[in-house]
Amino acid sequence: MMTCLLVCTLACGFFSDGREAGCAVGPAAWAASVSSALDTPAGLVRIEGWECFSGISAPGFDNGLRITAGGGWNPGPFAAAFGLGLGEGEGESPDTLVAVLSAAKVLIGNPIGFMEGLFGPSISFGGFVEFVHTSRDTTEACILGGGGVQFSVFPSFAMGVNGSHLRISGDSPWEQSWEYGITHVFNRDIRGHLTFSGGDVAAGTDLTLMDGLRISTGTDGSSWSIGTGVETGRFTIDYGLDMKGSGVVHTLSIRFSTAEGW
């Protein structure tokens, strides 16, 4: 049986990858990959060229197996992406199929930093439409939408606002939510993140140890996450481990991009 959302952290969305799971903070401010930007579409303008990904999340916290895949393209100033996900439900959770289309546009500036690890001063916005099909005792389907804005006034500081699960038609299996994110680049190797959503707060950080190797950690107050990322050429592999009491969720993702770098 399939489920949709990871409840392991405050911020994780259906298409959250290993990097997001490892720092426990949603990507409202820092999304820069297709997998993170499917749930936070304004971040699509930070990908370079073509990009595709695939991810898997092992069962935990009353959730079953979750498998995702997708791809995107940023020719500038517009960017677009698609994603498909399957989730296995446990307990009262239904089996779930999610298909999403996202698009974004740069309003002003260049969102890609002129130096690795930094943001390009800019304002961008994006939106998405998702089809959700659930099946347990009965079969239901709905169409949801969402979107948000990301902006960075300085290369070391970015903010974002993102809304999800806004009902267009049918009965949504989830409540709509709003996420507010802040990211600060302390230097090109250390970044700190904060996310506010529904009265809850998550905090995390990621640290680049050397070229091609990154670690991350964070908490939303009820769980603790750690993760690591390895880049080799045009491929990036991210792994995140989220711990809550005696429960553990493992998330692994692999990404291919026509542009090298995080």
* pLDDT per residue as tens digits for the range 33-59: 899 889 899 999 999 899 999 999 886
Q: In the prediction, which pLDDT does 15 show?
A: 85
* Contact call for residues 227 and 204 (beta carbons, < 8 A): no
pLDDT at residue 144, as a whole number:
95
pLDDT of 260 > 70? The answer is: no
131: pLDDT strictly greater than 80 = yes
What pLDDT shows up at residue 184?
94
Please list the residues that pair with 190 across neighbouring strands: 187, 207
Tell me whether residue 3 is in a domain: no
- Looking at every residue in the chain, the average pLDDT score rounds to 87
Percentage of residues in the chain having pLDDT higher than 90: 56
Per-residue confidence (pLDDT) for residue 187, from 0 to 100: 87
- Domain assignment present for 135: yes
Count up the domains in the chain and report the number: 1
Query: Quick one: pLDDT at residue 213?
Result: 95
Predicted confidence at residue 248, as pLDDT, reads 84
- Dihedral sign (CA 156, 14, 236, 249): positive
Residue 8 lies in a domain: no
What is the predicted pLDDT for the residue at 145? 95
Sign of CA dihedral 40, 42, 46, 50: positive
pLDDT value of residue 261 = 55
* CB atoms inside a 10 Å sphere around CB 140: 14
The answer to the question of residue 87 being in a domain is yes
**Is 177 a domain residue?**
yes
Domain assignment present for residue 5? The answer is: no
201, part of any domain? yes
Share of the chain above pLDDT 70, in %: 89
Q: Are the CB atoms for 75 and 108 separated by under 8 Å?
A: no
The predicted pLDDT at position 78 comes to 93
Per-residue pLDDT band for 32 (boundaries 50, 70, 90) equals confident
Asked whether the bond before 77 is cis by omega within 30 degrees of 0, the reply is yes
Q: What is the spatial distance between Cα 190 and Cα 19, in angstroms, rounded to a whole number?
A: 14
Q: Is the pLDDT of residue 215 over 80?
A: yes
Q: Kindly report, residue by residue over 51-99, the tens digit of the pLDDT.
A: 999 999 886 655 678 899 999 999 988 999 999 999 887 666 778 899 9
Q: Which of 2-6, 22-26, 240-244 has the lowest mean pLDDT?
A: 2-6
What residue numbers bound the domain in which 158 lies? 18-257
pLDDT above 90: residue 126: yes
In Å, the largest CA–CA distance within the chain is 53
We report the CATH number of the domain holding residue 224 as: 2.40.160.60
